[in-house]
Chain A
Amino acid sequence: MSAGAAPAGMRALPFTLVLIAIAAVIFLCGRWLGSSYAFFMGYVVLQYVVLGTAWNILGGYTGYVNFGVTAFFAIGAYSTVVLHKLVPATPLPVMMLIGGALAGLVGLGTGYLTLRLRGVFFSIATLALAVVVQTLITNWDFVGGARGVYVLRPRVAPLIGGEYVQYLFLMMLIMTVIVLVTARAIERSALGYGFAAIRDDEGAAEASGVPTLRLKLIATTLSGGFMGMAGAPLPYYVTYLDPASGFSLNYAVNAIAMPLIGGTSSWLGPVIGAVLVGGLQETLRVTISSAVNVLVAGVLMVAFVILAPQGIVGLFQRKRR
C-alpha cells in the first residue's frame, strides 16, 4: 500500500487486459501440452491463488485474521453438492456465484456479530465457525453426512471440448483474474486506503472519518465470498467429498501461509506465495511423501512470520531501497 509497494503504476484496464492475456497463454499452453496432470496440478495452484488473495483482502489489508477459511471454502463446495443433487443442469459458473453469495453472507453475519470487538475475537469466532459448519454438514444426510458424497464429473468439458478438468481449470483461471483485478483495484482505491488505516489504527481511522465497521464488513463479505467461489468447483474436482477432506486444515493453513510468505501488502504477495508453496508441495508430494508436503506450508509460514515479516515481496522492496 505504501507508495513504493505496488509495481510500476499501471491503470486498471491495461492491467486487466495483460492479466487476461497471460491467462489465455497459460490456458493455450496447457491445451498444447495436453497433459491432464498439468491441468489437475494447475487447478490446485490457482485455487490457492484465489484462496490466498481472498484471505489477504481481509487479513493483509485490514489486519483481521480469518482462521475459518475452511468454513467459507466448504460452504461453496457443499452448495455445489446441493445444486448438483437438486438441479444437476446448473452451469458451473452459476454454482460458483451461488456458493460465493452464500459464503459472503456467512462472512457478513460473522463479521456483524464480532467485528465491534477487538480483532482477536473475530479470529476466535472464525476458528469456531469452521467447527460448527463442519458439525452441521456432518449431521446433514442430504449432502452425505459423515460418510461423504460422490459427485459424478461430466466426461467432456462444455463449450471448449476436451476433458472436463480443462473446464474446471479454465473456471479457476477466470476466477483468478477476477480476484486479482479486484484485489489490485482495492489497493489503489479509497477503499484500500481505508482498509490500511483500519489495519494501522482503528481509533485514528474513525477519527479521520473512516466508517470502520462498514469497511470491515465489506472486507469480510468479499473475502468470504471469494473463498466460497473457490470452493464451488471442488466437488467436481475431487468427485468424492466428505467433511474430513472438505474441512481439511490444509486449506486454512495454505490460504494463510501463502500471503504471509509472499507478502501481505500487495496483490502480488499471495500469487508468489501460492505458486511457490503450491509448486513445492506438489514436488514434495511426488518425490517424498504426502505427509511431509502438508508440513511445508506450516513450517514456512512460521519461519517467515518470525524472520521475514514482510514476506518475499518485502525482501525485494528492502533491496531496492
Chain B
Amino acid sequence: MTALLTVSGLGKRFGGFVALDGIDLEVQPRERLGLIGPNGSGKSTLVNCICGTLRNEQGSVRFADETIDALSAHERTRRGLARSFQLPRPFAGLTLAENVRIPILYAVNARASGHLHGAAIDERCLELLGLVGLADKARQMPRDLTQIEMRKLELARAMAADPKLLISDEAMAGLSHAEVDEIIALLIRLNERGVTVIMIEHIMRAVMEFSQRLAVLVAGRKIADGNPKDVVRDPEVVRAYLGE
C-alpha cells in the first residue's frame, strides 16, 4: 500500500531560526496519527507547510501520489487535504450553514467527481452541522457560539471539503473532559468513514486514546515515531517533556 501523505526532508526557517529541520513523515490511508511536541517544537509550522499556508524551503510533500510543493493552499484543499485551525477562524459575517457551504462550493464542486446544486447543497450543509451537533443553529452567526461549538464548527468546515486527510490542529485545548471525549468520538467516526486523520494535541489522554501511531517533534526535528505506548516510554521523549 502506498502512503497517502509523504513528507520527506522538510525544512523551514524564519530568518536565522530553524523551525523545521529535515522532517520525514509517512501517513497511510485511513490511519489515525497523533503528533505531539512541546510548545514551539514546530507542529503548527509543519501543518502550515503541509497545507500550503507556508512554503517549505527544503524537502517535499507528496499527497495522493502527487508532489504538491508548488500548489497553493486552496489547490491542496481541493485535492483532499483539509485542516482545522488551532484558534477557530469562522467566517464571522456568515451563518453557520454558510460557513460550511464555502468548502462545498469551492473544494467539493471544484473536483471532477461531484457537483452539488441548489437544495443538495443546503441538505449537505445541514448534514455536516448535524454531524457535530450544530444543526439547530444553522441560521445563527458564529458570534452566538460557545468555545466548544466554535471548535465543532471549525471541524465541520474542514469536513465539508470532503477530505481524504484531515489535520486537526489542537482542537481540544481548554475543553472539559466530556467535551474532549465528544471531539475524539467525532474524529473516530470520521476515520471510520475512511478519512485519514492527523491529530495535533497537547492533551495526552486524547492523543493516547485516539492515535494508532504517534510521532513526536522537538525543536523542529522528529525524535520518535511508532506505537504510542512505546513512544511515550522512549527515554528521549521523556527527557524532552520532563526537561533535562
Interface residue ranges, A against B (CB under 8 Å): 1-3, 190, 193-194, 196-197, 199-201, 203-212, 265
Contacts and interface: CB of A to CB of B under 8 A. Distances in A.
A206 B161 CA distance: 12
A321 to B, nearest CB: 11
A206 B53 contact: yes
Contacts of A2: 93-95, 98, 141
Interface in B79-133: 82-83, 85, 89-95, 97-98, 101-103, 105-110
14 contacts: A1-B93, A2-B94, A3-B97, A193-B94, A193-B98, A194-B106, A206-B72, A207-B77, A207-B85, A208-B74, A208-B106, A209-B103, A210-B106, A211-B75
B139 interface: yes
Contacts of B51: 207
Contacts of B101: 193
A203 B74 contact: no
Given A1-B93, A194-B102, 14 more contacts: A1-B94, A197-B91, A197-B102, A203-B73, A204-B90, A205-B91, A206-B73, A207-B74, A207-B82, A207-B83, A208-B106, A209-B77, A209-B78, A209-B102
B157 interface: yes
Contact of A201 (B74, B91, B139): B91
Contacts of B106: 190, 194, 197, 208-211
A265 B75 CA distance: 28
A207 B73 contact: yes
B95 A210 contact: no
A78 B105 CA distance: 40
A197 B105 CA distance: 11
Interface of B: 51-53, 72-75, 77-78, 82-83, 85, 89-95, 97-98, 101-103, 105-110, 139, 141, 157-158, 160-161
Contacts of A194: 102, 105-106
Nearest to A200: B91
Nearest to B52: A206
Among A1, A203, A204, A205, max chain B CB count under 10 A is at A204
Contacts of B52: 206
A3 B78 CA distance: 26
**Pairs A-B, 7 closest by C-beta atoms:** A209-B107, A209-B106, A200-B91, A206-B73, A209-B77, A208-B103, A204-B89
A205 B93 contact: no
A193 B104 CA distance: 11
Contacts of B141: 2
A208 B93 contact: no
B91 A206 contact: no
A1 B97 CA distance: 12
Contacts of B73: 203, 206-207
Contacts of A199: 93
A194 B72 CA distance: 16
Contacts of A212: 74
B156 to A, nearest CB: 11
Given A206-B74, A208-B106, A196 B161 contact: no
B82 A190 contact: no
B102 A208 contact: yes
A201 B82 CA distance: 16
B106 to A, nearest CB: 4
A212 B85 CA distance: 18
Given A193-B105, A209-B77, A200 B93 contact: yes
Contact of A208 (B53, B107, B139): B107
A3 B139 contact: yes
A188 to B, nearest CB: 12
B168 to A, nearest CB: 13
Nearest to A209: B107
Nearest to B85: A204
Contacts of B83: 207
A209 B161 contact: yes
A201 B85 CA distance: 12
A190 B94 contact: no
